[in-house]
Amino acid sequence: MARAAAGGPVAGIYPISTGTAELVQDGDSPDGWLLKINGVQSSHIVLSDPLRLDFEYMRWIVALIEDRFEPHAVDRLRVLHQGGGGCTMPRYLAARYPEGRQVVVELDAQLAEYVREWFDLPKAPLVRLRVGEAREVTESLTPATRDVVIRDVFAGARTPDPLTTVEFIGASARLLDTGGLFVANIGSAPNHITARAEAAAIAAVFPHTAIVSDPAMLKGRRYGNIIAAGSTTPILASPGMRRRLLGGGVPAQFWDDAQVRAWIGAAEARRDPSPGADTLDPDALP
């Protein structure tokens, strides 16, 4: 096992509270790093360029955020990140919204300590790392104190079930100020059973929804990421945003509320289970 070095990241495998973290240097950039958590790619960071996002789903998230909260027109963006990883997204938003305030909830205390050492995060209160479980922290925060809530939490390839239910989405919604935006990164199998259920939970809480993903993903041809959003006000896509989504390395589509609800169809929103209830893994179904 490697040991963290003062002053920056060093390639190697590091023990963390929930297993292991591996740092791999990016061959395309001398100060680029890929972070793996228990063998699963989690984050990509370029120390000299916080605005570089190599993961397409992160580009889709910021396209949604910046279309609603135009940088330089918004003085202070207040963001809660449910899930931290290498803090790629907080670093990006700190660069785009220099007066913003962000709280990043990270379950793994040792990983949070490493990330602070490795990746030169803006100092608190600009970006504050809070160690804790995302649902517990979310339910403890003051209502109407956030402009954006981003759920990007995975245990392996799945988001923990307690963070996918109507009750959890409702707790997240209560944190949003008027016009705020909830954004969830959904990892989906081709059958879309999990994705539709999670989108149904968002649609049950918010009167307005949207989805961004690539056509192959939406047609159920592969595993991948679906970005689902909810708000109390309409989520619209400007022509500039649509061009931005089409111009990435993986062109993406924007679906409005009507398209999202048609896609959800009869899928049932997830709810917190009753005590003692058995649960099934829908992605294991044919």
pLDDT tens-digit map of 151-200 = 999 987 789 999 999 999 999 999 999 999 999 999 999 999 999 999 99
Q: How many residues are present in the chain?
A: 286
Give the helix/strand (H/E) hosting 62.
helix 56-68
DSSP class of 4: P
Report CA dihedral (55, 251, 155, 286) to the nearest 10 degrees: -150
Mean pLDDT is highest, among 150-159, 254-263, 272-281, for 254-263
Domains of the chain listed by start with CATH number: 50-272 (3.40.50.150)
Give the helix/strand (H/E) hosting 37.
strand 32-37
In angstroms, rounded to a whole number, what is the distance separating the alpha carbons of residues 78 and 155? 26
HSE value, Cβ hemisphere, 13 Å, CA-based, for 241: 19
> If pLDDT is split at 50, 70 and 90, which confidence band does 146 have?
very high
pLDDT at 104: 98
Please choose, from the candidates 131, 106, 87, 111, the residue with its C-alpha nearest in 3D space to the C-alpha of residue 14.
111
Cβ(227)–Cβ(183) under 8 Å?
A: yes
Q: 243-263: b or e for each residue (b if 16 or more CB lie within 10 Å)?
A: ebbeeeebebbbbebeebeeb
Sign of the dihedral defined by the CA atoms of residues 252, 258, 262, 264, in that order: positive
Amino acid at 33: W
DSSP state string for 249-266: SS--EEE-HHHHHHHHTT
Give the CA distances from residue 116 to residues 79, 120, 151, in Å, rounded to whole numbers and listed in that order: 18, 6, 20
pLDDT at 285: 45
Mean pLDDT is highest, among 33-37, 122-126, 275-279, for 33-37
pLDDT at 2: 60
pLDDT(4) > 80: no
